[in-house]
Structure 1
């Protein structure tokens, strides 16, 4: 007999503005305490020192997390020239220093080397699995970790400002798997110096934007009247780019039981199946038949 899940069945998304100094897991735990939701998850980890958009999925929305993780992301980050740190951010220990400070002209001339599909070596202090262990765990134990390079896509990278000779601020739009800490590190090396990130803020993840995000404290205050809460986004928020397909009641029953149904004259691909105004689940259209992939238990 399956154990009954504790909490309230709540289905949808929250756009949380993560504060500095807390982990993404801490945000998930706090949201769970505030909302008492049965199931809570996040889409795309943010480093503890970073701030900004952290999409939080509640209930059946957790089944759509993968679609947000794959979306393009936007960040604003500040590079501190002249200090390399073992974590590539402000929380690490200084490993090397340099007196060289790049000029605005040199920075602008280097940016094109870091757009498009590029090779990137992730930081040793990351959650990537190395021989079955998290890389950051091995690094903290003093084990020399060789991180394999991989392809990442950077759609845009621009210089926002130079507040002083030691710092420069950038905006970047990038795809899945890009480490902004590694980008700052590699940009500095290209410019003949060393650096780390002193600030990092995520401005957007797919449809979730920083301008619309709310803090955990605001969530706690607003959730005192859940019936009047206006910031819970629909489960389908993560599926904006996926076509919706309405089905009949008999077809909906078959799909819910894991059976395929005939849908003639429909293009192949993944669709969000709608039973009236209720999202039924994700399904794959292939050769005139619709096959259930993930059914939402709403």
Structure 2
């Protein structure tokens, strides 16, 4: 198996996986979504809420506010599989604001300087003149399989590597290039050919195939090659999510192997 990174930013990574199979790639996708630990607000104590927003809606909005959850932030915090998870105390947040103003995520005061909202400008609630909002909240580590607020990825998807071929036995159909919605095909009448500008941007929608009256172009894919994209909500780097997902998948495989070698005994 070969892996080639195509692009990488603070919150997105795109890479190509070659000589792999769909079950394996899909297992990585699922692990990245639901088996990577992340910090999110779990318990909310609303002491006073004079705003027009219901308490339940406000608590839900707080839970979905991304918090810094990289390796350094999570280190030392109890995980859901730990025996003392329910009794352990997470990171505490407090908020006290008076209107008129818009309350933003930056107004949440954390008991741990490392763990704070990823973005300062997420609007939480709007307070009118004289309205007061006072809350206390507790953030804990969880997994995306329990709730979306613990899911580190906003996009985690793959597609099979596109393949475009041309039928040299028929006349060149330049109209099929104009039908491409992503502009990856370009007609070059001087050299009498259609150029493929960016094969990896092809969505395999086959608009070009439908536009060709003489079946000049064919769109398919490489069966064992994939383009994988991971985008996070900023709580942790996408590369960290990928590595942790691979570690989790490896541990599951080792557990299954031990289970098989021991004859199915626990």
What's the TM-score once normalised by structure 1's chain length? 0.22
Larger relative contact order, structure 1 or 2 (CA cutoff 8 Å, min sep 6): 2
Greater CA radius of gyration, 1 or 2? Answer: 2
Q: TM-score, normalised by structure 2?
A: 0.24
